[in-house]
Amino acid sequence: MKPCDMICPICNEPWLKAMPDRTGEFEVGYLKRLKCSCESKRAQVYDKMQLVIHRQDCIIENRRYGFFDPSYMQHTFTADDGKNPEITQKCLAYVNNWEAMSANNMGAIFYGPSGTGKTFFACCIANAILENKINSFTRRGDMFPCNEVIIATLPTLVDKLASKTFSRKGDLLKDISMSALLVIDDLGAERLTPYMQGEVFSIINARLLSGKPLIVTTNLTPSELKEPAFRVHARIYHKVLEMCGNFPVLVSGESRWLEIAAKKREEFDKLLVLSK
Ligand SMILES: [Zn+2]
Centroid of ligand 1 to alpha carbon of 38 (angstroms): 4
Domains of the chain: 71-260 (3.40.50.300)
- Looking at residue 21, its pLDDT comes to 84
Dump the DSSP string for 94-161.
Answer: HHHTHHHHHHTT--EEEESSTTSSHHHHHHHHHHHHHHHHHHT--STT----TTSEEEEEHHHHHHHH
Mention every residue, 6+ apart, whose C-beta is less than 8 A from residue 211: 105
- pLDDT at position 257 over 80: no
- Looking at residue 116, its pLDDT comes to 83
Centroid of ligand 1 to alpha carbon of 48 (angstroms): 19
Average pLDDT, the chain: 85
Centroid of ligand 1 to alpha carbon of 40 (angstroms): 8
Centroid of ligand 1 to alpha carbon of 13 (angstroms): 6
pLDDT tens track for 130-151: 988 877 776 666 666 677 899 9
- Name the percent of the chain lying above pLDDT 70: 89
Centroid of ligand 1 to alpha carbon of 10 (angstroms): 5
* Average pLDDT of the residues in 161-176: 73
- pLDDT at position 170 over 60: no
Centroid of ligand 1 to alpha carbon of 12 (angstroms): 6
* Average pLDDT of the residues in 1-12: 83
Centroid of ligand 1 to alpha carbon of 240 (angstroms): 61
Q: Cα(176)–Cα(68) distance, rounded to whole angstroms?
A: 12
* Average pLDDT of the residues in 30-57: 88
